[in-house]
Structure 1
Amino acid sequence: MHTQTQNQTGTQWVAVLDEEARGLVAAVDAHPDASRLFNGTIDTAGYIHYLIQTYHYARWSTPILGDAGVRLKRSGRNPELAELLIQKAGEERGHERWLLSDLKNLGCSRAQVESATRSSAVDAYTGWNFFTSRSGVPTAVLGTAYVLEYLSQTRAGVGAARLLEVAAIPNIHKSVTFLRSHGELDGDHVEEMSRVLGGLTDPQDREAILLSARVVRNLYPNIFRGEAPIRYRLAG
């Protein structure tokens, strides 16, 4: 795969990244609780579980992206990608407060959220991304950002609208800030990332970005209640 990635044009290699992003959407659609979230029929407990688990990884998005950007900038390599990582760190700042606000409106205090048990998928997600940010290939974090923003672009806004339409959860009209905001913001983010990544030629960076995209594709559905269908596929 290394040689394949090295020889692909910018358009071709970003198309491979898009395949991983579509794979994440398919995996989420195949997960019972995740599909209920995005079609608006999830129950209160399931929605609270999703928001809490999301809080426990989203709270680290800014330091993960920022640390990766600073490391890459110091190396003097790929200055455009370094700036993109630092920019994205700023874009993610404070998003955990949307989650805390949504959870408060559902009756969950911050203390309850902070003390809630994290799923093993969340621990694996944060562990992997902190490793790549601080010790591994820093550009790898862009693979994580790309597939999650692609998921938000395709499902978050629709999910927020469906939750409001179905209205099965008490006080839901005050509790979709995180989903609705990501649905509105992440379309432009994906387009920008696709443009910048299309100019990336270094095979190590391409491989690292694709690997992180695949790791997240396999981990993310497991933040929901219940077992995710096994869809592991690490090879290109």
Structure 2
Amino acid sequence: MSPSAVASVRVQLLLVQPVLRSATARLWQSGPGLADRYRRYLRAMHQVIRASVPLMERAAGRCESMPRDPVAGPLARYLRAHAEEERGHDGWLLDDAAAAGTAPDELIGAVPAAHVAALVGAQYYWVEHSHPVALLGYIAVLEGNAPAPGLAGRLARESGLPPAAFETVRLHADLDDGHTADLDLLIDRLPLDAAQRSLVAVSALHTVARLAELFDRITLAPTEWESPHE
């Protein structure tokens, strides 16, 4: 019997997981500069997360234009529901930034780095020019790598920033496990053909690589992070 769709994706992710774990460990390493690194993380993640609801809504709309596709109907229903669950999370990051001493307007007005565009923009391409099911690979990685329990407290202690600056980290540590279980169930229930299974896997692997690169860029000094030539 061939492995289930979600088992196949999870096995492939397991092989590349050390890359993302190493980048995450570097991002959150203790020592001087942690507070500034965290502020850069808030800016980058706001740019990523503010795209989540529009991206899911666009993908759901594409599904709804494909009435004969057996994957499209259940996928659209999932994306509409999940968009509502994620709505407003970009606002949480603005609140955290304010608590960390960064004016929310600085995040809203910042030009997104190329590394953010590479992470998120590929999903728009696949949604528009291949199949919206690609988005499930992206969601699987983002929600399958939720912050560890206790991370928010450790970062507050070691950075010197107030606990209120870490609410999004704390909330996502609590929420994303349940979201991952729901997503895995959906992937295994969808009647995916071989090309669609491959697309979910390619999207997931791309997301791991680009997210690890983004975390490494955040870990760099600000001048390197902001350089338009990098």
TM-score > 0.5, shorter chain as reference: yes
1:86 aligns with 2:80: yes
The count of aligned residue pairs is: 213
Alpha-carbon separation, structure 1, partners of 2:106 and 2:154: 27
Q: What is the RMSD computed on CA atoms of the aligned residues?
A: 2.1
Deviations 1:25-54 (A, max 9, x none): 4223212xx315556666111111111101
Partner of 2:149: 157
Could you say if the C-alpha distance between residues 73 and 117 of structure 1 is closer, same or farther in structure 2, counting changes exceeding 3 Å? Answer: closer
Structure 2 unaligned spans of 5+ = 221-230
Q: 1:1-236 to 2 correspondence within 5 Å?
A: 8-10=2-4, 13-23=5-15, 25-31=17-23, 34-38=24-28, 43-76=34-67, 77=69, 78=71, 79-152=73-146, 155-164=147-156, 167-200=157-190, 201-224=192-215, 225-226=218-219
Measure how far apart 1:173 and its partner are: 0.5
Alpha-carbon separation, structure 2, partners of 1:9 and 1:16: 6
Other structure's SS at 1:107 match: coil
What is the TM-score with the length of structure 2 in the denominator? Answer: 0.83
Runs of 4+ in 1 over 4 A off after TM superposition: 36-42
Deviations 1:74-120 (A, max 9, x none): 21222212211221211211110011000001111122113335332
Partner of 1:230: none
What is the TM-score with the length of structure 1 in the denominator? Answer: 0.81
Alpha-carbon separation, structure 1, partners of 2:183 and 2:112: 30
Q: Quick check: 1:70–1:86 contact (8 Å CA) kept in 2?
A: no
> Which AA in structure 1 matches 2:166?
V
Measure how far apart 1:139 and its partner are: 0.7
Q: Quick check: 1:61–1:92 contact (8 Å CA) kept in 2?
A: yes
> Which AA in structure 1 matches 2:139?
A
Mean alpha-carbon deviation: is it higher for 44-53 or for 19-28?
19-28
Other structure's SS at 2:212 match: helix
Alpha-carbon separation, structure 1, partners of 2:17 and 2:182: 20
Q: Quick check: 1:53–1:118 contact (8 Å CA) kept in 2?
A: yes
Could you say if the C-alpha distance between residues 17 and 169 of structure 1 is closer, same or farther in structure 2, counting changes exceeding 3 Å? Answer: same
> Which AA in structure 2 matches 1:212?
S
Other structure's SS at 1:198 match: helix
Structure 1 unaligned spans of 5+ = 1-6, 228-236
Mean alpha-carbon deviation: is it higher for 50-59 or for 79-88?
79-88
